[in-house]
């Protein structure tokens, strides 16, 4: 039985992924603000360190996988928390768990990004310099001072920088024998999406975000791809971002990939 740490395991894509991985025989150590083995708030540095320490204690320093699903949407009231959870809540956990992954069997990691990550070029991402420098306070200040656009900037900017952070780690992680990939979900029927639909600032644009397949995804459709990436069947998939969006990225950006 392999041991996998999961963040954001209580709802949405994370809950569906946990179910899929447990059905495949994996032991899950979940991290979330409720209904998890490790209760922690990834929006603060102290909460992240608490989560890391507790998870490492529960796995005794050896991991076969990590799946980082924790994330916040643009409608989040404290908009700086979107940056803290989406970016630092993933990158700090990635780096902290790498030594334990090196001790594991056929170790693999999947980080949940977003199709929005590709819609903001890194060189034009206002958050990129602060995030790459580890300046959490500076990145939070940028989005908190961005007015009505703060939520969208926090979400797209954090997810764009997160995918770049994963790709920049691919060389070192590959040498360490640990596969690392991201998935980029499109609109998925989750509590996060429902909260966005009910927000007067973003509801209309989210509702119009309909892919060529004509429907939103179910969380289980994301979970099945994550389970594949965590399996031996994906043994040569490394440093990739798998877009799972019903075709909307291809429709919007047919010449960019």
Number of H-type helices and E-type strands within the chain: 11, 7
* Cα–Cα separations (whole angstroms), residue 86 to 14, 52, 117: 14, 16, 11
Q: What is the pLDDT of residue 210?
A: 79
Residue 87 in tokens: 């970016």
pTM over 0.85: yes
Quick: pLDDT tens for 118-170: 999 999 999 999 999 999 999 999 999 999 899 999 999 999 999 999 999 99
Q: Which residues are catalytic?
A: 155
Task: Name the least confident of 5-14, 61-70, 172-181, 188-197.
Answer: 188-197
Q: CA Rg, the chain, in Å?
A: 17
Q: Which domains does the chain have, with CATH numbers?
A: 3-246 (3.40.50.720)
Backbone angles phi and psi of 39, in degrees to 5: -95, 120
């Amino acid at each position: 039985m392999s041991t996998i740490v999961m963040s954001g395991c209580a709802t949405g894509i994370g809950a569906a992924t946990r179910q899929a991985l447990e059905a495949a025989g994996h032991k899950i150590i979940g991290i979330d603000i409720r209904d998890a083995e490790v209760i922690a708030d990834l929006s603060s540095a102290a909460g992240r360190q608490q989560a890391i320490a507790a998870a490492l204690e529960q796995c005794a320093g050896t991991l076969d996988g990590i799946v980082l699903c924790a994330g916040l949407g643009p409608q989040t009231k404290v908009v700086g928390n979107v940056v803290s959870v989406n970016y630092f809540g993933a990158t700090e956990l990635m780096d902290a768990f790498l030594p334990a992954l090196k001790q594991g069997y056929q170790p693999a990691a999947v980080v949940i990004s977003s199709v929005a990550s590709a819609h903001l070029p890194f060189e034009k991402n206002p958050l990129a310099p602060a995030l790459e420098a580890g300046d959490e306070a500076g990145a939070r200040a940028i989005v908190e001072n961005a007015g009505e656009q703060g939520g969208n900037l926090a979400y797209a900017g954090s997810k764009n920088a997160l995918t770049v952070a994963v790709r920049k780690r691919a060389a070192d992680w590959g040498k360490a024998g640990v596969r690392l990939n991201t998935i980029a979900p499109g609109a998925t029927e989750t509590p996060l999406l429902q909260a966005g639909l009910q927000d007067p600032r973003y509801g209309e644009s989210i509702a119009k975000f309909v892919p060529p397949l004509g429907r939103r995804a179910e969380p289980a459709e994301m979970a099945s791809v994550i389970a594949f990436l965590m399996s031996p069947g994906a043994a040569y998939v490394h440093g990739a971002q798998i877009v799972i969006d019903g075709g909307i990225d291809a429709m919007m950006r047919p010449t960019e990939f």
